[in-house]
């Protein structure tokens, strides 16, 4: 209690000094509140104003800087912004404060305003030739507008002036790659030549030059460029691979194979060259060689759960003229594990047609079994499945029909065929069929290592299920056939669509399934880090600035403070009305912040309404008004001002979706989860990584 009384005394004494015109003494009194166990750092705002009265700008700025830092530390970002703007007007040459204001604007999602502040700082730094600070500033501008090539070029020149040659060349190449992405080849080539003058032979620069030459149909010159590099650096694997890629694009497969095979033999871990060699084999219709070469990479990708990259590698193999069944089977296994049913059906239909063309009945059986799981009512599939099943000699355990090739009558050369049939039975869950064949074979060929090994494995996988369930599994096809209703038109064969031949209906093309992504699919454009204006943050009651008045009221020993707080505020507002023009938007805005800090919500709202007449402040004012109504528990008004804020931003912009998020959070908080879910889904469709929107959708769904 003693601390509060002392604070009240200090405030009383300071106010008396101010009224008496003794500003220095008032400052000394106020500074006492900055010491102790609980310093009131917001009092720096008053101290700064008093220093301004004395014309001591530097000390005023330091005081305002202290209070801005205090607001930031407590997440009062609107108040901090107001203080930084105040500093910027008092000391427009203070570059550090201008940049700090820009940083804070970015953190709140005001990117255009931040850019304006940064460029203001840039002009001052350039006039004063402060190159190192300019480099730091241009890094910020590039993060704000990564596609603005003029920023990259300016930064490259600044780095060159400071002797950072490698960094300068890297920035130039950043600009080249932006122009390449836009197919602005002339501009890209001009910058490449600039980079070559700064540092000859830079690998990234020369790679970009080759890419420009390729895109502008000057492949012969591109070959010459790479050839000259390899004359002086013949073991450079990067340019060896680049030369092989040029041969590959020119369809000079013999030279490409020779070069890539050499790289792989010398550098077995050179993944890029290995993949390119696999592509050469596929184009030469040597799918088996391509599969053998790439299979270790595919296995590694699957082990790391990089399924999309494994699919890309399989796509290279399946680009051969003749389809490769093992690659198709592996692709089907990936799609099955990912539960991609539409793609799985396509691959299994291709496998079925390929196996049928090659007379591989066992492969047909596997493909048909998978397809029936996906389309159990397809009459054509049921018919084909039954025919293949009979052809393989499956026993119907209900009728007791014998295998077409009896194990008892088998010859020794038939063992492998019957053991393969055992594997098929086991894969389909028909363990009794598999066991019967093995028992007969064991009688016919006792002590055969192959048969004994199969019997041992069969015991390991022996299912612990009732016999009637096994009978049910055996009769599955017959049951389906008995219950089948009028089925839709059977799907047309997918093989012609995959091959790019035949009928007009193409469900999914080969590009959809086997896009040549080499080691990985083309990466999504990396999203730069964006921070958004957070409208959902609860405004805390900042009562510290009223503490002294409240303390004095409790004491009751000062006549002016015996008045009700509302009366005091009313008198103060009357003074404001007489002395402050309603069009002085900045003053109105700062008054609103002061009222808000003291918990005077109605007064704050009135001031922000006046300040919102300034178009540049309207969005921020509406945001704070919305927060104030939330604090008043007036949800209808809060919703009205939030929706009004939406009308001030461009539809589809990052700010638009940030406000939509706040609107969704509002509906969620006020008990309307359906509306919230609809809005969260719209935001997720725009950017699934935005804040925690994916979790929101999942929880509300």
DSSP-assigned letters across all residues of 41-95: GGGHHHHHHHHHHTT-HHHHHHHHHHHHHHHHHTT-HHHHHHHHHHHHHH-TT-H
* pLDDT number for residue 30: 81
Q: Which residue has the tokens 């704070």?
A: 624
Q: What is the pLDDT of residue 166?
A: 94
Contact in structure between 157 and 169 (CB atoms under 8 Å)? no
pLDDT value at residue 448: 78
Give the pLDDT mean for 469-489. 41
| Of 170-174, 622-626, 628-632, highest mean pLDDT | 170-174
Q: At 194, is the pLDDT very low, low, confident or very high (cuts 50, 70, 90)?
A: very high
- CA–centroid distance for 63 within its chain: 41
pLDDT above 50 (res 15): yes
**Is residue 686 over pLDDT 60?**
yes
Q: Which region, left, alpha or beta, applies to residue 91 given φ > 0 means left and ψ of -120 to 50 means alpha? A: beta
Q: Is 546 exposed, middle or buried (0-12, 13-18, 19+ CB in 10 A)?
A: middle
Cα 137 to chain centroid distance, Å, stands at 26
| Contacts (Cβ under 8 Å, ≥6 apart) of 366 | 351, 424, 427
**Which residue from 533, 538, 539 is spatially nearest to 648, judged by alpha carbons?**
533
| pLDDT at residue 463 is higher than 70 | no
When mean pLDDT is compared across 124-138, 237-251, 462-476, 655-669, the lowest value belongs to 462-476
pLDDT in tens, 205-235: 999 999 999 899 998 899 999 999 988 888 8
The whole-number pLDDT of residue 179 equals 94
pLDDT of residue 426: 73
The pLDDT of residue 537 = 38
The region of weakest confidence among 103-112, 136-145, 154-163 is: 103-112
For the segment 316-373, what is each residue's pLDDT rounded down to a tens digit?
A: 999 888 888 999 999 999 998 888 888 899 999 998 998 898 888 888 888 898 898 8
Taking residues 136-163, report their average pLDDT: 92
Mean pLDDT throughout 570-582? 53
Instruction: Please report which confidence band the pLDDT of residue 408 belongs to, taking 50, 70 and 90 as the band edges.
Output: very low
428 pLDDT exceeds 90? no
pLDDT band of residue 280 (cuts 50, 70, 90) is: very high
Q: Is the pLDDT of residue 187 over 90?
A: yes
pLDDT of residue 528: 43
Residue 413 reports pLDDT greater than 70: no
> Of residues 573 and 641, which shows the higher confidence score?
641
Q: What is the pLDDT of residues 502-525, one digit of tens each?
A: 444 444 443 444 443 333 333 333
pLDDT tens for 74-97 read 888 888 888 888 888 888 888 888
Q: What is the mean pLDDT of the chain?
A: 77
Percent composition of the chain: helix, strand, coil (DSSP 3-state, to 5): 70, 0, 30
Residue 401 has pLDDT above 50, yes or no: no
Q: What local confidence, expressed as pLDDT, does residue 429 receive? A: 65
What is the mean predicted confidence (pLDDT) over 140-150? 91
Q: What percent of the chain has pLDDT over 90?
A: 21
Q: Work out the burial of residue 209: count CB atoms within 10 Å of its CB; fewer than 13 is exposed, 13-18 middle, 19 or more buried.
A: buried
Per the model's pLDDT, the better-predicted residue between 432 and 197 turns out to be 197
**What is d(CA 238, CA 235) in angstroms, rounded to the nearest whole number?**
9
Domains in the chain, start-ordered, CATH in brackets? 393-485 (no CATH), 544-700 (1.25.40.10)
Q: How confident is the model at residue 174 (pLDDT cuts 50, 70, 90)?
A: very high
Q: State the pLDDT at residue 691.
A: 75
Considering only residues 491 and 32, tell me which one the structure prediction assigns the higher pLDDT.
32
Element housing 679 (H / E): helix 673-686
Cβ burial, residue 602 (10 Å; 0-12/13-18/19+): exposed
CA distance 298 to 326: 12
């Amino acid at each position: 209690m003693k601390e509060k009384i002392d604070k009240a005394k200090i405030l009383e004494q300071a106010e008396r000094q101010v009224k008496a015109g003794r500003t220095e003494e008032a400052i000394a009194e106020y500074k006492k509140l900055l010491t102790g166990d609980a310093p009131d750092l917001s009092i720096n705002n008053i101290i700064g104003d008093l220093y301004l009265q004395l014309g001591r700008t530097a000390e005023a700025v330091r005081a305002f800087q202290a209070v801005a830092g205090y607001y930031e530390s407590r997440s009062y970002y609107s108040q901090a912004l107001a203080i930084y703007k105040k500093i910027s007007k008092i000391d427009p040459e203070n570059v550090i404060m201008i940049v700090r204001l820009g940083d804070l604007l970015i953190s709140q999602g005001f990117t255009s305003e931040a850019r304006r502040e940064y460029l203001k700082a840039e002009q001052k730094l350039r006039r004063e030739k402060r190159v190192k600070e300019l480099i730091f500033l241009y890094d910020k501008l590039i993060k704000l507008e990564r596609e603005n090539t003029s920023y990259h070029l300016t930064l490259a020149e600044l780095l060159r002036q400071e002797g950072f040659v490698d960094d300068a060349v890297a920035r130039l190449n950043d600009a080249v790659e932006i122009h390449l992405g836009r197919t602005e080849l002339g501009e890209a080539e001009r910058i490449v030549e600039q980079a070559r003058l700064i540092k000859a032979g830079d690998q990234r620069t020369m790679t970009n030059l080759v890419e420009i030459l390729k895109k502008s149909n000057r492949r012969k010159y591109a070959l010459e460029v790479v050839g000259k590099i390899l004359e002086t650096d013949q073991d450079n694997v990067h340019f060896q691979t680049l030369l092989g890629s040029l041969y590959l694009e020119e369809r000079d497969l013999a030279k490409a194979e020779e070069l890539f095979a050499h790289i792989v033999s010398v550098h077995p871990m050179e993944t890029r060259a290995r993949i390119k060699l696999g592509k050469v084999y596929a184009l030469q219709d040597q799918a088996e060689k391509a599969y053998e070469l790439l299979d270790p990479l595919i296995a590694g990708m699957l082990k790391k759960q990089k399924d999309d990259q494994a699919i890309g590698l399989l796509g290279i193999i399946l680009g051969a003229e003749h389809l490769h069944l093992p690659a198709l089977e592996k692709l089907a296994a990936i799609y099955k594990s990912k539960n991609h049913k539409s793609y799985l059906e396509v691959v299994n239909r291709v496998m079925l047609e390929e196996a049928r063309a090659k007379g591989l009945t066992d492969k047909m059986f596997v493909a048909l079994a998978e397809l029936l799981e996906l389309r159990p009512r397809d009459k054509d599939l049921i018919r084909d499945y039954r025919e293949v099943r009979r052809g393989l000699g499956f026993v119907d355990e209900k009728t007791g029909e014998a295998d077409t090739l009896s194990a008892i009558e088998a010859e020794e050369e038939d063992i492998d065929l019957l053991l393969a049939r055992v594997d098929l039975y086991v894969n389909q869950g028909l363990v009794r069929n598999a066991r019967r064949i093995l028992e007969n074979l064991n009688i016919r060929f006792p002590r055969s290592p192959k048969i004994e090994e199969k019997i041992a494995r069969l015991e390991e996988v022996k299912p612990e299920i009732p016999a009637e369930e096994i009978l049910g599994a055996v009769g599955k096809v017959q049951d389906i056939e008995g219950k089948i209703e009028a089925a839709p038109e059977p799907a047309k064969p997918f093989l012609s669509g995959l091959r790019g031949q035949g009928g007009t209906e193409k469900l999914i093309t080969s590009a959809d399934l086997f896009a040549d992504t080499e080691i990985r699919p083309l990466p999504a454009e990396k999203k730069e880090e964006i921070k958004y204006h957070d409208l959902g943050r609860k405004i805390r009651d900042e009562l510290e600035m009223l503490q002294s008045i409240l303390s004095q009221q409790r004491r009751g020993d000062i006549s002016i403070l015996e008045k009700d707080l509302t009366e005091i505020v009313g008198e103060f507002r009357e003074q404001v009305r007489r002395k402050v023009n309603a069009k002085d938007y900045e003053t109105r805005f700062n008054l609103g912040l002061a009222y808000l800090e003291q918990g005077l919500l109605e007064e704050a709202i009135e001031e922000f309404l006046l300040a919102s007449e300034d178009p540049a402040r309207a969005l921020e004012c509406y945001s704070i008004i919305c927060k104030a109504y939330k604090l008043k528990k007036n949800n209808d008004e809060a919703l009205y001002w939030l929706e009004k804020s939406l009308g001030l931003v461009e539809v589809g912009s990052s700010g638009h979706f940030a406000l939509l998020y706040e609107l969704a959070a509002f509906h969620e908080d006020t008990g309307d989860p359906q509306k919230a879910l609809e809005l969260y889904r719209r935001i997720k469709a725009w950017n699934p990584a935005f804040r925690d929107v994916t979790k929101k959708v999942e929880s509300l769904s």
